[in-house]
Amino acid sequence: MRPSSTDTAPYVARVEKIEADNKSNIKVRVRWYYRPEESMGGRRQFHGAKELFLSDHYDVQSAHTIEGKCIVHSFKNYTKLENVAPEDYYCRFEYKASTGGFTPDRVAVYCKCEMPYNPDDLMVQCDGCKDWYHPACVDMSIEDAKKLDHFMCADCSSEDNIKKPERTFPASPLANGKVRYILTNFTSLRLDYAMFLIPLTACSLG
């Protein structure tokens, strides 16, 4: 849906219902998607550029504010896209606007930094433990990481008699690997702004 400023990206909402009032004006009941920077916790390192949160914030808008159709994929399906188009987004959390709470309340983390997966960031998988690592976290440049045929993390490299398997890396950490979980409670990072400051216009989804 159309933002109030041309410098602002279109807002995204899911259309729940379309109806006409007694003056034949077409209205849409929508459920808003929030971008990470619009949430109480704000944008964090693991949030992708196309990430959205499906909120519990409902609204009624004029159909004239609709600019076009977008596609909000599941996180798993988004990571399988060969090419990400401008209209492609993804959602892995539902967001409660009044409290800043997220569902699910736990999320898989990877690497030494123990951060959730960001599909915008390159990661490499250890042939030994099968965990995934950001190149920067293992003192490696992205250019060097792209040239790798095999990778062993520091822990696995120090172990004796490790046989390197054939390179069969999955496309992303979601497909395979060692997984740990952390709580997604970001309310400690809550920002002091009122609910009415959240934009009230957005890009609609079918």
Q: Measured between alpha carbons, how far is 88 from 83 in angstroms, rounded to an integer? A: 9
Q: How confident is the model at residue 21 (pLDDT cuts 50, 70, 90)?
A: confident
User: 129 and 188 in one domain?
Assistant: no
Query: Is residue 126 within 8 Å of 134, Cβ to Cβ?
Result: no
User: 194 and 96 in one domain?
Assistant: yes
User: 94 and 18 in one domain?
Assistant: yes
Q: Is residue 128 part of a domain?
A: yes
User: 194 and 157 in one domain?
Assistant: no
**Least confident residue range of 46-60, 128-142, 168-182:** 168-182
User: 188 and 143 in one domain?
Assistant: no
Average pLDDT over residues 57-74: 92
Whole-number average pLDDT of the chain: 81
Q: Give the type of residue at 37.
A: E
Question: Containing domain of residue 189, as a range?
Answer: 12-105+184-205
Which residues, including other chains, have CB under 8 Å from residue 49's CB and lie 6 or more apart?
120
User: 193 and 172 in one domain?
Assistant: no
User: 21 and 79 in one domain?
Assistant: yes
User: 35 and 69 in one domain?
Assistant: yes
Which CATH number is 59's domain given?
A: 2.30.30.490
Q: Is residue 93 part of a domain?
A: yes
Q: How confident is the model at residue 105 (pLDDT cuts 50, 70, 90)?
A: confident
Residue 189 has what pLDDT? Answer: 34
Q: Is residue 4 part of a domain?
A: no
What proportion of the chain, given as a percentage, has pLDDT over 70?
74
Q: Is residue 115 part of a domain?
A: no
Residue 180 has what pLDDT? Answer: 62
CA proximity to 9, closest of 64, 62, 67 = 67
CA torsion sign for 17, 36, 83, 166 is: negative
**Least confident residue range of 54-58, 128-132, 165-169:** 165-169
